[in-house]
Structure 1
């Protein structure tokens, strides 16, 4: 496929992006960013050092090969944070120009802490404190980046994307790469992080159709929290919004994450060192649900087709993908420039393995800039780049046009395999019968005892093997019948449910979650502080009864939270069940030996009753049941 054909395909299916009102950064040509940035290097145990100033850096110089010691990190740097004087002057200019609405136009709605429980709020507080001491992007860097982006816009910058076309495994993959100058999720929208530069990616999977045409079958959006099958949606999935042949992306505010549907998405960040505790709590919660026969999917923030519950120790953040702001794409307020093709031959894509923005040395990596479209932060090649089919779980899925042929080939393989197994069973059965006759001949020959025992062992082994083969033949037969029915459905155009492959889907918050009361938000903001202060006062004034009062306060807070969320009845039921379990355990502990003795006595009485029943039934049987022959004999 030549370059003109690639561009035509990319244009035909290029996505439309709906942004959230208040978004400040939009997709641009990454080469413009390179020319406006400087190149830096950070070697182990050394301070960062500038290699190439912004006025001299070009895509060509960035593509030059380099060598360095282990642990060395290269990174780009776009802006210097504003000084206090510059920041004050900028705010004053905004007010005078009346441009303050750019950020003020965004309304967050329900706070993120009101959507999760106490444990998540405590972990979030610790995460916020850690942000003060770990590496992060300075707060005013977002403002400086915004000013730099506006300057580039005034110079004629237009909305653009980079793209590549890959033909692999019967698929034609259209890979769209969107570069954003800055991610201001934390500073602009109360999210998890800020960082310079941001790469987002979308794949559209086409299959050949007819002689010279193609048709879209799948679309996949890159995500940090999902992988494989969960990344993609079938083209006819109702969740996939389309305008003609153009899929619609709803971009997260500041984060630029891609979503299939508009809404507010609760994103949970799990700290690695808390993973064992999280797994233990999940096991206990699922066990409790099974014991109490509770329905799945009741937790706030729970998601997925299979349930599973929210992570109570995760740090909650809301990603706002409302789609009520600027739209870019065919037929929208703004349209895309001509696609910028990239591949392994593009120098700055292939040769530069460094970061695309400030390297903050954040241990969580959330504030560090990402690497380019081809690489991960550690310099390894992204799977989405070298294996775009397997990345979305499509390495096991054939295009629709070849599904019948693939199914028929599998049907033929299974049929041939079943015939081979049947012949093998027939041969082994002949051998088994011969061994059985051999054993029968040796049965009354004392001098052949050892050989007889060995033959019986061989018979047993061979019988087990034949049984295994027969079970395999039966299973293959069932599979062959199922494949035949599946082939008929495919020939009739029935591809099955469009969401059958999804194990965990990221769904937006429900209307009730997104519109909790103002009182609930206030309580979520102050609850952790009130709880900690209450514990501190108890420890200082009444430490003797600290455990009792801690349990009491936690229960009191739980009931307040349930009232705020409208789950008071459910909490009362769970609380009553928990009290019943505790009371039962206390009774067992206090009267353990008495209960053991009582249990033994009841068991003994039951055994006696059962034995007497059997004895009486046996004694009554002969007298009650007399055959006609016996009656005739007695008459004589």
Structure 2
């Protein structure tokens, strides 16, 4: 295929991106980005990083130059230098003076009120951890914004990198978007900030591009906390918005994650160290709901059992789409895309980070790798396996589906003929062994021959049984193939959403209407808890144990009241106290009951085991 054919395909289906009000960073050409960056290296034995190439001297060609270094050396770009106090003050004043109310971002209602108390506590600890671990400086977003605006002032341009891959009958269009900065935390109350941000969208075409007969079948958006089948939607899915042949993306504010529909998305990040506690809690919830049948008739019982958010950090990704739009017939149009592939040196040879390295142990504040590489220098799955990345490695393009079904049917039919022959041959052998065993059974001097035959009979009988089971299963599969072929011939390719296990969905409007009291309580509860504990230690240290229990109970009651779950709390506490009281009463006043129960249980186990021996 020629580069022009690839370019035409990319532009034919290039996405439209709707951004949010307040968004400051948009897709930038890689060459312009690299040209204003400095190249640095942080060696494992060195305390400070070393600058290798200053800004304005770095190009895509020099970036790709091979560099020998020690293990543990980290190469990274630096997009913007820190601002002085005067520069930062000037920037803030300029922003205030030129603020456009129609383009100002306003956070959603009650982000913390949408999750439980434990999640808010974990979130508070996460916020405090930013003071101790590596993070982007507070002025980094402002500095990056100034540099980005300067670049755009010279020549306003919005460009993406496009890659075309042909594999297993698919033509895969990859759209790689580079943003100069991710200001999700500092600009939109999200999880992290970092320089550089690579986002990607894949469109999967079936048909032959030689004669222009290609049909888009699937599209996959890279998004937080989703992978495999959950990333993709069918081209005809009503949940996928399109303008002509151009899919619509709703970009997360600051995070630039891609979503299929506008809205606010609750993103819950699990803390690895709390995973064991979450699993224990899952089992307790499952026992409570399934065995004790408590609140099993509530609207979402499976969510409570499978995915409680008490041990996850809550963040909201705002993908409202009420800001700038880039794409065909939008506020701004795409410049001619930059074609990329593995033969380009800057794509394959530079394995460093595309922005500042912060030494963040959680890696959330470190810049990402390039389109081909992860942060650690390993190849991204989306690059080396674009089909498997979206769960399409098991899916056949529609134009090949019927042919592949017939091929599978023919292959299985051949196997059935082989099985029939094998079953006949081995059955004859098995019958012969049976006759021989019967003949030698009454001859004492042939005991060893008889025992050898018995072993052979057992082995051969198992083989014949396996062959017959395979034959029966294959026969059912052949019938299924025929029914499926008939279905395909009628144009019925099945459900277009059956592959989705967990779909990203915006927060429902009903949950956005959170009361002011609950919203206020969620905002101050963690701080109040901390101050209450400090007050207890200062003013009543001798009663610290009773005081802590009282504070916890008080906060639980207040939390349950605001969430209208006081009845559920009282019921759970009542049942727990009743079980505890029953156990105490039995052991203190009726110990003989426990003895009788233990004796009966022991006798039952003995009887069961003896019955098995006698049978």
Q: TM-score, normalised by structure 1?
A: 0.88
* DSSP-derived class of the 1:528 partner: helix
Report how far residue 359 of structure 1 moved: 0.9
1:519 alignment partner in structure 2: 517
1:618 alignment partner in structure 2: none
Matches within 5 A, 1:203-602: 203-208=202-207, 212-293=212-293, 294=296, 298=300, 308-535=306-533, 550=548, 553-587=551-585, 589-590=587-588, 593-599=591-597
| CA–CA distance in structure 2, aligned partners of residues 326 and 359 of structure 1 | 30
> In structure 2, do the counterparts of structure 1 residues 158 and 605 end up closer, same or farther at CA, with 3 Å as the change threshold?
closer
| 1:78 maps to 2:79 | yes
Conserved 8 A contact 1:299-1:309: no
| 1:171 maps to 2:173 | no
> In structure 2, do the counterparts of structure 1 residues 76 and 460 end up closer, same or farther at CA, with 3 Å as the change threshold?
closer
Report how far residue 88 of structure 1 moved: 1.7
Matches within 5 A, 1:150-169: 150-169=149-168
| CA–CA distance in structure 1, aligned partners of residues 601 and 13 of structure 2 | 75
Report how far residue 209 of structure 1 moved: 5.9
| CA–CA distance in structure 2, aligned partners of residues 260 and 324 of structure 1 | 14
Conserved 8 A contact 2:354-2:367: yes
> In structure 2, do the counterparts of structure 1 residues 567 and 493 end up closer, same or farther at CA, with 3 Å as the change threshold?
farther
- Report how many aligned residue pairs link the two structures: 600
Conserved 8 A contact 1:22-1:102: no
Which has the higher mean CA deviation after the structures are superposed, 130-139 or 522-531? 522-531
Cα RMSD for the two superposed structures: 2.8
| CA–CA distance in structure 2, aligned partners of residues 127 and 574 of structure 1 | 30
| CA–CA distance in structure 1, aligned partners of residues 341 and 285 of structure 2 | 48
| 1:4 maps to 2:4 | yes
2:608 alignment partner in structure 1: none
> In structure 2, do the counterparts of structure 1 residues 538 and 473 end up closer, same or farther at CA, with 3 Å as the change threshold?
farther
| CA–CA distance in structure 1, aligned partners of residues 602 and 364 of structure 2 | 66
> In structure 2, do the counterparts of structure 1 residues 219 and 444 end up closer, same or farther at CA, with 3 Å as the change threshold?
same
| CA–CA distance in structure 2, aligned partners of residues 570 and 235 of structure 1 | 44
| CA–CA distance in structure 1, aligned partners of residues 541 and 278 of structure 2 | 30
Report how far residue 362 of structure 1 moved: 0.9
1:619 alignment partner in structure 2: none
2:607 alignment partner in structure 1: none
| CA–CA distance in structure 2, aligned partners of residues 584 and 489 of structure 1 | 61
> In structure 2, do the counterparts of structure 1 residues 51 and 136 end up closer, same or farther at CA, with 3 Å as the change threshold?
same
Show CA shifts across 1:26-50 (max 9, x none).
1111211111121112112321122
| CA–CA distance in structure 1, aligned partners of residues 441 and 222 of structure 2 | 72
| CA–CA distance in structure 1, aligned partners of residues 213 and 152 of structure 2 | 38
1:37 alignment partner in structure 2: 37
| CA–CA distance in structure 1, aligned partners of residues 45 and 516 of structure 2 | 49
Report how far residue 200 of structure 1 moved: 0.5
Matches within 5 A, 1:35-114: 35-46=35-46, 47-96=48-97, 98-99=98-99, 101=101, 105-114=104-113
* DSSP-derived class of the 2:306 partner: coil
Show CA shifts across 1:71-96 (max 9, x none).
11111112122222222222223334
Conserved 8 A contact 2:115-2:309: no
Conserved 8 A contact 1:81-1:141: yes
| CA–CA distance in structure 2, aligned partners of residues 374 and 605 of structure 1 | 66
Report how far residue 218 of structure 1 moved: 0.6
Report how far residue 59 of structure 1 moved: 2.1
Report how far residue 179 of structure 1 moved: 0.9
> In structure 2, do the counterparts of structure 1 residues 266 and 584 end up closer, same or farther at CA, with 3 Å as the change threshold?
farther
Q: TM-score, normalised by structure 2?
A: 0.90
Show CA shifts across 1:134-176 (max 9, x none).
1111111111211222111211121111111111111111110
| CA–CA distance in structure 1, aligned partners of residues 77 and 598 of structure 2 | 77
Q: Which residues of structure 2 form unaligned runs of 5+?
A: 605-615
Conserved 8 A contact 1:297-1:308: no
Report how far residue 553 of structure 1 moved: 4.5
Report how far residue 580 of structure 1 moved: 4.2
> In structure 2, do the counterparts of structure 1 residues 246 and 94 end up closer, same or farther at CA, with 3 Å as the change threshold?
same
* DSSP-derived class of the 1:396 partner: coil
Q: Which residues of structure 1 form unaligned runs of 5+?
A: 607-636
Max radius of gyration: which structure? Answer: 1
> In structure 2, do the counterparts of structure 1 residues 163 and 448 end up closer, same or farther at CA, with 3 Å as the change threshold?
same
Report how far residue 246 of structure 1 moved: 0.9
1:142 alignment partner in structure 2: 141
Report how far residue 250 of structure 1 moved: 0.7
* DSSP-derived class of the 1:395 partner: coil
| 1:199 maps to 2:201 | no
Show CA shifts across 1:385-429 (max 9, x none).
122122212111110111112122222222222332232222222
